[in-house]
Structure 1
Amino acid sequence: MSKSLTLSSIALLLACTTPAFAASNVDLTVKGLITPNACTPTLSGGGMVDHGKIASKDLVQNNPTSLPRVTLQLSITCDASIPFAIKPIDNRSGTSTGSSDFGLGLINGNKRLGRFYLTPLNMLADGVSAQPIASVDGGRTWYSERNWELQTLWGAGAVDDATTLLPIKSLVLDLEVGASIARADQFDFSDEAPIDGSATLEVMYL
């Protein structure tokens, strides 16, 4: 026991008396993978949801007003079966009345008009039923998610396994677009106000 303590003390003494030198260099690594496979996403209707003109008097004054839900079909076709995810980008960032939803723009200077959100339905991966899944850690782990939200990646998993992203050649699903206008009594509708929501769905190869 005493010999061990003595050796430890000597080692500690040597460590304390050895001069410390700062490294004069640092490494930087650039990595990636160029894949021969690519995926092409398409949205029916040109990706346009148009609610037309809505009379301000028809908006709920003291609560949000839900707009009719519209369903678009999202198709993603790849050159080969590969794992990929969808990254949502809010092109009106900072204007949503919900932290996980997309914004509808600003009116009256700096007031948030409302929000819209996306719900995946009837998902088919290479013709087989699949379930919508999501990841909050860049695709390392996945979980079942019925409502796709911002700040996550979206993907498709087998109906009996939400923890694994499927490699897919053809993904087809209905994308239900829901929207709501914030309580109307906070806005001045003396002039027409545009509903100005915009999102980008980016395919990421994992």
Structure 2
Amino acid sequence: MKTRLTTLAASLLLLNSAATFAASTVDLTVKGLIVPSACTPSLSGGGVIDHGKISAKDLNPDKNTVIGNNTLSMAVNCDAPIQFALHSIDNRAASGSSIRYGLGFINETQVLGGYILTFANPVAEGGVVVQPIASGDQGNTWYREKFWDPGLYMSVAAMDDDTQPLAVKDLSLDLEVQTIINRADGLDLSNEVTIDGSATLEVKYL
């Protein structure tokens, strides 16, 4: 009898140990999708907008100053028609906002200003006019939008359906860039200030 009880106790101990071990595990899943096509984005002018030298006296003291409205030609060329999005990363995000890309700081504390991107006149291969759409949840849902805020996914859709991206082989568009300097009465402009905007625009396959 004693032997049976000892055996039963040992079995219960093993079961409890197994249950404890199982509760201390977690699953790891690695997943993804390799697509056969690749897309290459490009910008006219090497993607550089140079405003040159601007006199501090030409800046509005009590309101923002628009120092330039520029347009770059942007193209995305793919091996075959595919759904894709363009994702923006503000490399000066600390001096930017939810709607403006940053231009850096003065004295590490004063926000110099920002710039706004607009996705305009998109055309797919064959001259097909398409509409710009955006996603704020990494491509799960889409809506009609032309302003390319930092972090947004931008794509194009058929003119009669703004809920999903269109598979496109070649896309061309005008990337409009409006550069703004904050009101001058809050900035230290006693020395030269570098306008230092930088963003990375990358292709995301959907």
Matched residue SS, 1:85: strand
| Structure 1 counterpart of 2:166 | 166
Report deviation, 1:205: 0.5
Distance in 1 of aligned mates of 2:99 and 2:120: 19
Report deviation, 1:138: 1.1
| Structure 2 counterpart of 1:91 | 91
Distance in 2 of aligned mates of 1:200 and 1:109: 22
Bigger CA drift: 29-38 or 194-203?
29-38
Query: How do 1:105-184 residues align onto structure 2 when only pairs under 5 Å count?
Result: 105-126=104-125, 127-184=127-184
Contact kept in structure 1, 2:130 and 2:156, CA below 8 Å:
yes
Report deviation, 1:160: 1.4
**1:25-60 alpha-carbon deviations (Å, 9 max, x no partner):** 221110011222110000000001111100000100
Report deviation, 1:70: 0.4
Distance in 2 of aligned mates of 1:43 and 1:142: 25
Distance in 2 of aligned mates of 1:173 and 1:37: 21
Report deviation, 1:151: 2.9
Matched residue SS, 1:148: coil
Higher relative helix content: 2
Contact kept in structure 2, 1:100 and 1:151, CA below 8 Å:
no
TM-score by length of 1: 0.87
Report deviation, 1:124: 0.3
Question: Which amino acid in 1 is paired with 2:121?
Answer: N
TM-score by length of 2: 0.87
Structure 1: which 4+ aligned runs deviate by more than 4 Å? none
Distance in 2 of aligned mates of 1:69 and 1:132: 20
Report deviation, 1:24: 3.6
Question: Which amino acid in 2 is paired with 1:82?
Answer: I
Query: How do 1:64-103 residues align onto structure 2 when only pairs under 5 Å count?
Result: 64-96=64-96, 98-103=97-102
**1:83-135 alpha-carbon deviations (Å, 9 max, x no partner):** 00011000111102x32210001112211100101111111012200111000
| Structure 1 counterpart of 2:189 | 189
Q: What is the CA RMSD across the aligned residues, in angstroms?
A: 1.4
